[in-house]
Every structure is written in structure tokens, then in C-alpha cells.
Amino acid sequence: MRTFLLLLGCLPLLTACDAASEKRPQDQTAATPKPGNATPTETRLHTMADAIDAAIESRYIKENVPLPPEASDEVFLRRAYLGITGQLPPAQDTSQFLADATPDKRAASIDRLIESPAASEHLFQHFSEMLHLRGEAFGASLQRFLDWMRESLGNNMPYDTLVRSMITAKGSLQENPAVGWLLQAEGSVLPVTLDMCSVWLGYNLQCAACHDSPYSDATQMEFYQIAANFSTLRTVQRSPDGEEHFVGKTLPLQSSAELAVREDRMMNLRLPGDYMYRDGHSGDVVKPRLPELNRVGRNAVWHPAPPQWPLKSKPPMPAPKDLRETLAHWVTVENEARFSHAIASRLWIRMLGDGQAFSNDSEDLQLPLPMPGLNAMMSMLGGGSANGGSRCHAGPSFSNSMRPMGSHAFSLDMADLNDPVMSVLAAVMRDVGFDLREFQRVIWNTRAAQRDATPDAYGTAIASRFSAATGMVASPLMRRMSAEQIWDALVSLAGSNTTEQTSRDLPMVLEETHPLRVLGRSGRGWSDGDRAPLSPTIARWMMHSPLVLAVASPGSRVMMEMNRTADPDARIRQAFLSILSRNPTSRELELARELYGSTEMDTPSADSFLVWTLLNTSEFLFLH
């Protein structure tokens, strides 16, 4: 048996890129086909997508860099499912999509996925990291707030309305669940101020919280002046009889009380004891003030791009009545252009990937990611290898200086704000009225979203010069799936073989030893703390995890689907469609047939070996 497997391993499985290349066109210049009977709204949406593509492609022309080719249908469908819903496409959906000859089938799939409940849940997961939702405050559950956030995204509440609701919220969780965002700060206005400016405006005040920023015009006085707008905020505990009492470290929450936020008389926010600048003294009371954020340095002023294709008319906002309404108006109206830049940038990078996640000098960027051969699989199992060992198959190698994905403080500098591509994206966000579904519909219908992500001949030029963070990539960048995407895919494939819950049903904050934390989920200590690490730890987990073994064991959902037929070729195709969302190539099919033709391995064992092998490929772990 060992000799057979070693000989079989001499013919490694094809890479994902080789598989896609069998059908891949050489170039892509046309957008997703538009239906002949498109409505005016659909026409405008496609016009927006074309405008984004034109801004990107003009840079490639200027840099004399060839555009990546169009992705195959298999790659596109898997990318769209994972990117929009966070889930792998069911094998049946993949088969139907590949057999569909309708010219606008990609646009139709995008529409169907964006309107699905799974899409709003996947967006909620993104917001959970963005707002570092922890699900509790003062030891009490904030589940009502989490439910409200899910419902709001499920009902497609406009993003600016969602943000205003959280900034101005008051009352108890039962009366107004939006107060949960303020409650999770546990009465401290300084972290609320940091999060508000960084998350919603891309205005990083982390340095200014302690001293004048050496990297921008933000000052410590400015930080405290913004924070003073929360100075009427009180976090209280409300007893069943209606009595309200303050809650804090010295006044713990009573078991029968509920948390609430109320407006009170303004309490003095004072400068810290180590304040060292001439515009104030330690202990001085700080008056509320909101700065002008469109100023660049001392003189120049940033002029955002005007709307171009208004889809939705918005009524004028009423005049603010109090400090927090003034604050919400400052964030969403006075700084609407910057506000739109921040969320448009987030969703664009979420779709394309972070261009800095790959080290620029990695040799692996010049080559397709390897799909492990069966000899490498045997080496992982301790059986040796025909080549004397195997490399780690968790992905390409990276330099030690690689910046991890995500950021402790999301920030937009003037280069980002003035970038032509990002300006178009921000204008689109404003023109769709901060409708997050419509914005995602636009960007997923771009040519950029549907190009090949393989970093081959053009990969090094893109990696060294272009970044999704500045809108300068013309196709999604190859990257590892998120922790939640990997986990939920495995739970789904395992079916009744596991009692593990999907990421939706798990607590917001998990123990460090939980597999999701190993895969990169953050502890929600700061915004955007999630990571997609690439290390031997991930490879070991994929090889030995009980969840992976549950998928590769009789009784799992994928193996039950394989058992519907006795034909080895059909079983092989089912495994590939379920795990890699594509059919096997002729070479892969030939190799896998030898497993089922072996006298030393029965059919269930061959099924398990094939499933486990496919799960431990780079192709499964990566978004292509």
C-alpha cells in the first residue's frame, strides 16, 4: 500500500490555477453583461460599476501593466458565495451555475446572494469586528443590542441612519437596543470617541489621546474637545421599581437591574494631569467643540468629489437639538464625504483583500499556490515522502515583517481621500443613499470583482505598486479565508458528524484556546482585530482537528452526498464540487481513480482520504 501511494504521489494534483486555466480566457475588458430590458436603476448601477473600473484601469494603462484575465465561472461563484455570504456554494448550486448558458448569470447570482439572509449575517460578522462587539457590559448581556444590529442589517437600514441611531441612543436596552454601542464602553467617553472617529470617519486619534499626534494635525486638546460632546451621557442601572443608580467599578450592577443610558446635566471633562501644551493646563475643564476635518495642514482644503448618479433623494436633516445630535450631525452630514469614504473603503477592501497582506519580496507571489500531492499528504501523516519531506501547505511563505491583515485603528489620510478610485467609490456610496446592499451590488458587478486573482506574470508588479487600500488593484488579491469562513465551511461539510456550532451561534468573545481564535478571530479588544494568519499552526490544525476529521469520516454531509452513487467518478466529482467548488481536471480524476481501484483501500477509506486531502490544500483555504 505504501509503495502504491508513493508512486501515486509522484504525480501531484494540479494547482487551482492550472485547473482554472483549462477554461480561462486570456483577457477581460467587458463588464458583466447587462440585460437588454434593464430598468433605469439597473442601468445606473452598471454605470457606477463601469466608472469604478475606468478609474482603476486607467492606472494600469499608465503603468503599462497588463490587466488580469477574467476569472473562470468556478472561481467567480466560490468567490461570490464566500465574499457575500461567508459560505461555500452548495455542490448542486455550483453544478447548475456551470451548466447555465445565460449571459447575465453572474449578475443574477450576485442579486440572489446579496438579498439572502446569509449576506446580512456575513455583514454583521464584519460589523462585529469593526465595532469590536463583545456582547456584554458590566457583566450584563447586550444580546438585545446584537439582535437589533442583526435586524437592522437584515432590513437594510441605511448606514448613516444606523450610525446616527447608535450615537444618539438613550434609554434601556429594552426601550432602545441601539444604546448597546454606548453601553459597551462602560461609562468611559474616551474609548467611545476613539472608536467613533476611527471607525466611522477614518480619523485616527489614538496618538492624540495621549499627546499631539506627530503624524497629523490632530491634537490632544482636539481629542478632548470631541469627547466633551459625550459629557451629558450617563450609564445607569434601572431597578424594577424604576429607580436609577449609577453603575461603575465601585457600584456593581445589581442582578435585578437593567442597564440604560440617559441624558443628564453636563459633567466636566478635564484635561489629564500630564497635559503639557500651551492651549491649556492640567485639570482645565474642556468645552465641547467639533473640528473641521477637511483641512489639509494649515492652508489647503480637501474638496470631495460631487455626486454623479443620484439614485435616492434624501430629506434634509433637522437641526440638532442637543450635544449628541450635534455629534451625529457632524459625523454623518457635515463630514458626509469622509464618512462615505470610510465605509466605501472598508467594503471595497473586504471584497478585494488587503494589498499589504503579502510581502512584496515573497517568491511565492510569482507562482501559483501549490495543491499538495498525495505524497505530501502521506508525509503529513508520518508515512514519509518520495521527495524526502514536504513544505508547509498552509499557503505561501512570508517575510517576518509582513503586516497582518486588519488594523488597530482604521485611518484615512489625504492621499486616500484624494485618490481617484476611492473618490468614485465614496461618491457611489453617497449616491445610493448609504444603501449597503446596493453598494455591494455595484462593486460585485465591476470587472475588478470578476477577474482572476492568481498572482502570476503580472503579480509582482501589482504586489509592489498597487494596493486595494488605495483602490489600485484590478482584481481581488489572493488571501486566506477568514476564521469564520473556514469554521462555518467545515461545520457545514461535517453535518451531523459534529455538535460544533456555526460562528453565528458562538459567543462574541471566545477563549484564546478556541479553534476560531487559532484561525484568527480576535478577542474584540479593538476595532478590526481579526487576522488571517498563515503559519504551521494552521497547517497542523487542519491536519489534526477533530472538526476536519469529522468532515472526512463516514456520516458527514459531504460523504453522505458522495454515497448517493456507486460510480467512483461521480463520488470524486461530488467531493471536488463540495469542497473546492469545481469539477476535477482530467489529471486529478485519473489520480483519484487509482485510489478507488486499489485492492488495499475500500471505498469508504478512499472517500475519507480524498476528502481529507482536499481540505488540506491551499486551494481550499484560500480565496482565489
Q: Model pTM?
A: 0.83
- On whether the CB atoms of residues 476 and 79 are closer than 8 A, the answer is yes
- On whether the CB atoms of residues 359 and 455 are closer than 8 A, the answer is no
What radius of gyration, in Å, describes the C-alpha atoms of the chain?
A: 26
pLDDT reading at 410 higher than 80: no
Q: What is the mean pLDDT of residues 197-225?
A: 89
Length of the chain: 624
Spatial distance between the Cα atoms of 449 and 186, rounded to a whole number of angstroms: 41
Spatial distance between the Cα atoms of 516 and 519, rounded to a whole number of angstroms: 5
Segment 363-379, tens digit of pLDDT: 232 223 333 344 443 33
Question: Residue 307: what are its φ and ψ, rounded to 5°?
Answer: -60, 150
- On whether the CB atoms of residues 4 and 386 are closer than 8 A, the answer is no
pLDDT reading at 393 higher than 60: no
Grid cell for residue 165: 441611531
Burial of 319 (0-12, 13-18, 19+ CB in 10 A): exposed
pLDDT reading at 402 higher than 80: no
> What's the pLDDT at 8?
36
Question: Residue 500: what are its φ and ψ, rounded to 5°?
Answer: -65, 145
Q: What is the mean pLDDT of residues 166-190?
A: 92
Q: What is the mean pLDDT of residues 514-542?
A: 78
> What's the pLDDT at 401?
26
pLDDT reading at 236 higher than 80: yes
Spatial distance between the Cα atoms of 142 and 183, rounded to a whole number of angstroms: 8
Mean of pLDDT over the chain: 79
The fraction of the chain above a pLDDT of 90, given in percent, is 51
> What's the pLDDT at 320?
67
- On whether the CB atoms of residues 110 and 441 are closer than 8 A, the answer is yes
Segment 531-584, tens digit of pLDDT: 666 778 888 999 999 999 999 999 999 999 999 999 999 999 999 999 999 999
pLDDT reading at 16 higher than 70: no
- On whether the CB atoms of residues 405 and 479 are closer than 8 A, the answer is yes
